[in-house]
Amino acid sequence: MSPNTRRLLGYFAPYKLQLAAAIGMIVIHSAIPGVLVFLIEGVLDDVLIAKDQARLAMVPWALVGLFALNGVLTFGRGMLTRYIAWKVVTTLREELFACYLSQDIAWHQTQPVGELLARLSNDVTNIHYGVSGIVTAVQKPLTLIVLVSAAFYLNAKLALIGMVALPLVVLPIDRFGKRLRKTSRGALDNMASLTGSAAETLSGVRVVQSHNGEVHRQLVFAEENERYRRQKMDAFAALLLPGPVIEMIASVGVGAALWYGGQQVFTGQIQPGELVAFLFAMSQLNTPLKGLAEIQSLTQRALAGSEVVFAALDRTPSVPDEGREELRADRIHLTFEGVSFDYGDGPVLTDLQLDIPPGKTVALVGASGSGKSSAANLIPRFYDPTVGRILINGQDIRSFTLHSLRSHIALVSQEGFLFNDTVRDNIGFGRDADEAEIRAAAKMAHAHDFISALPHGYDTRLDELGMRLSGGQRQRICIARAFLRNAPLLVLDEATSALDTASERLVQEALDRLSQHRTVLAIAHRLSTIRHADEIIVLSHGVVVERGRHEALVEQGGAYARLVRGQG
């Protein structure tokens, strides 16, 4: 048994009582074909030939009762096994989603969202075939044993003849089972790629349409779609072929038994009912024999899904949450000690020295790609420094738990991300806040008036990313969220760079209010927003080239002065 198989079975362990009940139903259910065999023999030899009216009157009732029992067992077993299957799938899907949330930002930037969603949906769903595989692994062999036993009981010699070719069924089961696992894995990979391509196109539909790129993106989607169709056809062929091959192999033995049994009926050695019942038993062998192939099929499909799921669950984030201390501080002293950082293709920060005492504001400025946002991303540990360390109140931030560290940081970036939820829940995200706190935060962010004018006020549901709102309105909701967070350390990552002048004024007023009595690191594109910072640090290609206050830097006539003139 492979490690993945053992691990997968471990998820079914909590439901062993339900599985035992299902297996009990399966045992009873597996005996029904054998009962039918003997019922047919009795009807032919003891009822019809003997013309027994009394027993004939009982046969329909027996038949109805047998099929009623079959129906009850089929329904009960099916509902029970599906309950187990979807409990396991639900658990795994929650674990996988939690794993996604725990992964570092660098990993997420390399994983298309559409592919992650496909794994979360299709790969995990495929695992439910594992329950069907367990059930089939019990039911089909039991049914096979019952029918084989009935055939031997009726006529051992005929049974030996009829089953002479059955060992050959192992070949198609093994060969097509292995192929099915490979093609199922390929189909899941192709579906992830297809979903990723579609999600990328739909997320960037404005760019696609504005550049007349519909035909190109449609062709990309069509190629992925066709690749998925071919892979699914290969998988379906591997799933479908074992059945006809097994039936053909089994028919050889049944044909030989029919010829030999017919000779015995002609010579009076056996009754016609015995031969008919025997042939019925042999004909019913096809179902459990194909079921043996189905066991392989279901198992391989479940394992194909589990491979990627377990690989994701086992991934260790590159920013591990190994801190053991809880950060508890009302005031933050932030320090960068010789911090260098590299994404893997060259340094973006080199020996950055930075000190922000409690209540002070330091701004990072520089051309695009100078390393400003990279420095900001190191503070909540979206990444860790390649060299050096970052301290809060004199202690390395890696010693704190991620949860406690991030709860002390309020981040406002230029994206202004909003969820597809109500205004109230967007402001209160991450906090269990009451109505009064949410409204107070909105007022501090100059957002209360426009929120009140929305169709349902704070209960207005925003569409994805809040695109019905203006950029300034979205940003003020995000600032209200930061107010509500009430964190002592504020990181502003170009929070006004994407706004028009009118919106910038309102947003800047809200940010000035938010910055009061907090330690602030401001990444600035518009230099007018950081004129009053306690220190301005100018970066160029990750290296500090100037530092000082606004007036002094302008007088020096260096890099900062050139940036100011460029925006003048």
Q: What is the pLDDT of residues 387-434, one digit of tens each?
A: 999 999 999 999 999 999 999 999 888 777 888 888 999 899 888 889
* Banded model confidence at residue 247, pLDDT cuts 50, 70, 90: low
* Banded model confidence at residue 339, pLDDT cuts 50, 70, 90: very high
Scanning the structure block, which residue is given the tokens 């100078």? Answer: 370
% residues pLDDT > 90 (the chain): 20
Give every strand in the sheet of 543-548, ordered side by side.
Answer: 409-413, 489-493, 519-523, 361-365, 535-540, 543-548
Size of the chain, expressed as the number of residues it contains: 568
pLDDT at 383 over 70: yes
CA-based nearest residue to 535, from 521, 525, 545 = 521
What pLDDT, on the 0 to 100 scale, is given for residue 291? 61
Q: What is the CATH number of domain 334-567?
A: 3.40.50.300
What pLDDT, on the 0 to 100 scale, is given for residue 167? 66
Q: Is 543 helix (H, G, I), strand (E, B) or coil?
A: strand
Q: How far apart are CA 488 and CA 518, in angstroms?
A: 5
Q: How far apart are CA 33 and CA 30, in angstroms?
A: 7
Q: Which of 83-87, 147-151, 264-268, 324-328 has the highest mean pLDDT?
A: 324-328
Query: One fold for both 3-313 and 334-567?
Result: no
Give every strand in the sheet of 395-396, ordered side by side.
Answer: 347-356, 334-342, 387-392, 395-396
Q: How far apart are CA 386 and CA 350, in angstroms?
A: 10
What pLDDT, on the 0 to 100 scale, is given for residue 115? 80
Choice between 210 and 12, residue whose per-residue pLDDT is larger: 12
Scanning the structure block, which residue is given the tokens 């059955």? Answer: 166
Q: How far apart are CA 510 and CA 504, in angstroms?
A: 10
What is the pTM assigned to this prediction?
A: 0.74
Q: What is the mean pLDDT of the chain?
A: 81
Range in 206-215, 218-227, 240-249, 502-511 with the lowest mean pLDDT? 240-249
Average pLDDT of the segment spanning 99-128? 82
* Banded model confidence at residue 289, pLDDT cuts 50, 70, 90: low
What pLDDT, on the 0 to 100 scale, is given for residue 41? 67
pLDDT at 555 over 80: yes
Q: Is 429 helix (H, G, I), strand (E, B) or coil?
A: coil
What pLDDT, on the 0 to 100 scale, is given for residue 286? 64
pLDDT at 249 over 80: no
Choice between 225 and 212, residue whose per-residue pLDDT is larger: 225
Run of H or E residues at 412: strand 409-413
**Which amino acid, residue 507?**
V
What pLDDT, on the 0 to 100 scale, is given for residue 549? 92
Number of CB atoms found within 10 A of residue 112's CB: 17
Q: What single DSSP character describes residue 522?
A: E
What tokens does 66 get? 């047998």
Range in 138-147, 300-309, 476-485, 519-528 with the lowest mean pLDDT? 138-147
For the stretch 350-366, pLDDT in tens is: 999 999 999 999 999 98
Average pLDDT of the segment spanning 199-228? 77
CA-based nearest residue to 256, from 160, 337, 350, 171 = 160
* Banded model confidence at residue 12, pLDDT cuts 50, 70, 90: confident
CB 254 within 8 A of CB 283: yes
What pLDDT, on the 0 to 100 scale, is given for residue 409? 92
Q: Which fold is adopted by the domain 3-313?
A: ABC transporter transmembrane region fold (1.20.1560)
**Which amino acid, residue 31?**
A
Range in 49-53, 420-424, 427-431, 475-479 with the lowest mean pLDDT? 49-53
Q: What distance lies between CA 566 and its chain's CA centroid?
A: 47
Scanning the structure block, which residue is given the tokens 């790969």? Answer: 123
Q: How far apart are CA 56 and CA 41, in angstroms?
A: 13
Beta strand 387-392 pairing with 519-523: unpaired
As a dihedral over the C-alpha atoms of residue 93, residue 20, residue 81, residue 12, rounded to 10 degrees, the angle is 10
For the stretch 73-102, pLDDT in tens is: 888 888 888 888 888 888 888 888 888 888
First CA to last CA distance, the chain: 71
What are the residue ranges spanned by the domains of the chain? 3-313, 334-567
CB 294 within 8 A of CB 130: no
Average pLDDT of the segment spanning 440-444? 90
CB 181 within 8 A of CB 305: no
What tokens does 163 get? 């089953």
Average pLDDT of the segment spanning 305-312? 83
Q: Is 410 helix (H, G, I), strand (E, B) or coil?
A: strand
What pLDDT, on the 0 to 100 scale, is given for residue 35? 75
Q: Is the dihedral of CA 243, 167, 300, 130 positive or negative?
A: positive
* Banded model confidence at residue 64, pLDDT cuts 50, 70, 90: confident
Q: How far apart are CA 475 and CA 450, in angstroms?
A: 12
Q: How far apart are CA 383 and CA 341, in angstroms?
A: 9
For the stretch 130-172, pLDDT in tens is: 666 666 666 667 777 777 777 777 777 777 776 666 666 666 6
What pLDDT, on the 0 to 100 scale, is given for residue 446? 87
For the stretch 164-185, pLDDT in tens is: 666 666 666 666 666 666 676 6
What tokens does 120 get? 């979360």
Range in 10-19, 140-149, 350-359, 555-564 with the lowest mean pLDDT? 140-149
CA-based nearest residue to 135, from 178, 175, 187, 78 = 78
Taking the CA of residue 213 as centre, how many other CA atoms within 13 Å lie in the half-sphere pointing to its CB? Answer: 14
Q: How far apart are CA 317 and CA 103, in angstroms?
A: 5
